[in-house]
């Protein structure tokens, strides 16, 4: 039971970062489109073309919904796994302190993202626990 309370607490603490930043992007798409990390990614993947607006909205919606799904424990393993996959390029392109790009800021952000990846990786591995919609649905399926 304590294990499940810890999983609930972990989800309550880790989901807001995705939800808040996703909502901020949806409310101000220009922040995503003009972000240096977005520009670095587009340079590497699309020869410097501008990120399409639909991609910015999809990114914000993904963050908001993935965070909400993890918070509620809805398809938590899949949602958390997708966040891990999403955060890998975000961390690489967003915080390249090794390239001398604002190392004072980006090094801390890089390691923060590694910790966030670890938290979501744990939920992807062990699931949301007893106090989740996933568990409620599983219990109904066994009845």
Whether 143 has a pLDDT exceeding 80, the answer reads no
Interacting residues of 103 by C-beta distance below 8 A, sequence separation 6+: 97
Taking only the tens place, the pLDDT of each residue in 96-141 is 999 999 999 999 999 999 999 999 999 999 999 999 999 999 999 8
Which of these, 18, 135, 1, lies nearest to 86 by C-alpha position? 18
Angle of CA points 124, 142, 127, to nearest 5°: 10
Mean pLDDT over residues 58-74, rounded?
98
Q: What is the pLDDT of residue 141?
A: 85
Contact predicate 16/67, CB 8 Å: yes
Interacting residues of 11 by C-beta distance below 8 A, sequence separation 6+: 70, 71, 73, 76, 123, 128, 129, 132
Taking only the tens place, the pLDDT of each residue in 9-62 is 999 999 999 999 999 999 999 989 999 999 999 999 999 899 999 999 999 999
Q: What is the pTM of this model?
A: 0.92
Tokens at residue 71, please?
């918070």
Distance CA 127, CA 143 (A): 21
Distance CA 124, CA 70 (A): 10
Neighbours of 31 (CB within 10 A): 14
């Amino acid at each position: 039971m304590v294990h499940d309370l810890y999983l609930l607490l972990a989800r309550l603490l880790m989901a807001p970062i995705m939800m808040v930043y996703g909502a901020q992007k949806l409310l101000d798409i220009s922040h995503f489109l003009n972000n240096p990390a977005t520009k670095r990614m587009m340079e590497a993947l699309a020869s410097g073309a501008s990120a399409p607006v639909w991609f910015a909205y999809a990114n914000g919606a993904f963050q908001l919904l993935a965070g909400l799904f993890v918070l509620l424990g809805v398809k938590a393993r899949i949602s958390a796994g997708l966040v891990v996959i999403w955060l890998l390029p975000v961390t690489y392109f967003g915080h390249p302190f090794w390239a001398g790009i604002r190392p004072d800021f980006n090094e801390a952000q890089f390691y923060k993202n590694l910790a966030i990846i670890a938290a979501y990786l744990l939920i992807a591995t062990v699931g949301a626990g007893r106090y989740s919609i996933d568990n409620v649905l599983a219990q109904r399926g066994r009845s």
